[in-house]
Structure 1
Amino acid sequence: MRLLLIRHGQTPSNVKHLLDTAEPGPALTPLGQRQAAALPDALAGEEIGALFASTLLRTQLTAEPLATRTGLEVRVRRGIRELFAGDLEMRGDDRAVETYLTTVFGWAAGDTGRRMPGGENGVEALRRFDAVVDEAAATGARTVAMVSHGAAIRMWAAVRAENVDVEFASTHELLNTGVVILSGAPGEGWRVQEWAGRSVGHEDSAPEASGPAGESVDDIEDDPPTVNA
């Protein structure tokens, strides 16, 4: 199966650098709407047979143009929503972002028992995402698109893809409507084929260290942090 994991378009909380993970969440900014509108052409070469989105409004709005182009129903599933920020919800200060990142990439490194303050642990986060991937595989579609969230996509790919690890996921950007393309199947394993337009293993330049939404780590240190939500 070919699995397209798509980050949603830009939201006001992205602009304000907030950890915004609660349902239903904000809609898209005008830029986010344009990003969503550009997806069908960007993915025109993909024969998408099933389309999923999370329960957060921003992913459903991002999926709408793809649904219109393909004629597919958007299957809304809670399992691929963003990693819950818990007690950090709607914070954008450096301490909150550091705690969120440390927890998320701790899960990606194998410390799945660690719990987000007031939120879920890595076992729970992986279980819910896996369940939707399993459902997608069961559709029989050769290519499935899922509109999800930056931290969730990067964490899941780092854990489940055999050719991507936590170092890769934490240092490669995934901006709004960025796409991670994997091939494989549940129970058989996954490999990342492309990450935000680049073939994995054929990078032509060194990666830039980045935070959960793909912003430069230098920007996190020098400017208000950008977060995934």
Structure 2
Amino acid sequence: MGKRTGTVLAVLAAALAAVLVLGGCSGPPQPRTITLTLIRHAESEANAAGIIDTTVPGPGLTEKGRAQAQELANQLSHNRYDGVYASSMARTQESAAPLARELGREVQILPGVREINAGWFNDKPGSVANSPYLLAPQAWIRGDRTAAIPGSIDGNQFNEDFTAAVQRIYDSGDTKPVVFAHGASIMTWTLMNVQNPRDELMTDHPLPNNGRVVLVGNPTTGWKMVDWDGIRAF
């Protein structure tokens, strides 16, 4: 074997060894990170009447709510969301429709992000029922997922349903989806699942109509809250 041939073989052997080392060090591909925006619906007829209504499909938007939905679409259409989702409730679908039109997209329905069933407190004045209705969700975010709303679900069932809906969004391939959902469901799921929760936000800064929460992450490595209705989370 000539000196040149030996040099070439040595170089090839070194290259092969490097490939094998790199191949052995490389793990499975990292899950992609997405930006998930959760928006509470605009003013509904139940909001205007001051009652809790978690029936499906439930009441739609008021005239004021329809104007709010269009105003939000005008504000957010430049964000280039690649997926628009809403719950199975009329008020979220009507809230999502103007933005979907601006983006040239269809509203996709996800029952799992519907409002938390109020059980015994359904159709009661919000001034009377809101506090007891939210007792169980507040327990869920503190870690007691077995607490149940009287006549309704516990935290395990709620989290399972909402998380499955988020997984479906992630599996669609969207990288910047927007989801129109509900005040209690957005606040509760966010604070149950993000790595940087601020539990006091649920009581100190409840989401208003059109209020939104922005998260980054994925279902595998977890979520971080970036913004809670204008309050930066970092």
**What residue is the counterpart of 1:88 in the other structure?**
121
For residue 196 of structure 2, the aligned residue among 141, 163, 184 is 163
- Answer with 1 or 2: which has the greater Rg: 2
What do residues 90-137 of structure 1 show as CA deviations (whole Å, max 9, x unaligned)? 011655322112111111111111111110111001111001100111
CA distance in 1 between partners of 2:131 and 2:231 (Å) = 27
- Contact 2:77 2:102 survives alignment (8 Å): no
- Residues 1:54 and 2:87 are matched in the alignment: yes
What do residues 31-50 of structure 1 show as CA deviations (whole Å, max 9, x unaligned)? 10011001222213422111
More helix by share: 2
- Contact 2:96 2:107 survives alignment (8 Å): yes
**What residue is the counterpart of 1:150 in the other structure?**
183
- Contact 2:85 2:108 survives alignment (8 Å): yes
For residue 62 of structure 2, the aligned residue among 29, 33, 43 is 29
CA distance in 2 between partners of 1:11 and 1:87 (Å) = 21
CA distance in 2 between partners of 1:94 and 1:180 (Å) = 24
CA distance in 2 between partners of 1:46 and 1:111 (Å) = 37
For residue 3 of structure 1, the aligned residue among 36, 49, 56 is 36
**What residue is the counterpart of 1:226 in the other structure?**
none
Count of residues in correspondence between the two structures: 201
SS of equivalent to 1:166: coil
The equivalences for 1:118-133 within 5 A come to 118-133=151-166
TM-score in terms of structure 2 length:
0.82
The equivalences for 1:69-108 within 5 A come to 69-92=102-125, 96-108=129-141
CA distance in 2 between partners of 1:93 and 1:68 (Å) = 33
Q: Which deviates more from structure 2 when the two are superposed, residues 44-53 or residues 6-15?
A: 44-53
Output the aligned Cα RMSD: 1.3
**What residue is the counterpart of 1:38 in the other structure?**
71
Change (3 A) 1:188 1:93: closer
- Contact 1:157 1:169 survives alignment (8 Å): no
**What residue is the counterpart of 2:214 in the other structure?**
181
**Letter paired with 2:223:** W
SS of equivalent to 2:215: strand
**Letter paired with 1:42:** Q
CA distance in 2 between partners of 1:95 and 1:63 (Å) = 29
SS of equivalent to 2:72: helix
CA distance in 2 between partners of 1:93 and 1:152 (Å) = 16
SS of equivalent to 2:196: coil
- Residues 1:66 and 2:64 are matched in the alignment: no
Tell me the CA shift for residue 62 of structure 1.
0.3
**Letter paired with 2:145:** T
SS of equivalent to 1:192: strand
CA distance in 1 between partners of 2:200 and 2:183 (Å) = 16
What do residues 38-67 of structure 1 show as CA deviations (whole Å, max 9, x unaligned)? 122221342211111001000000000011
Identity %: 33
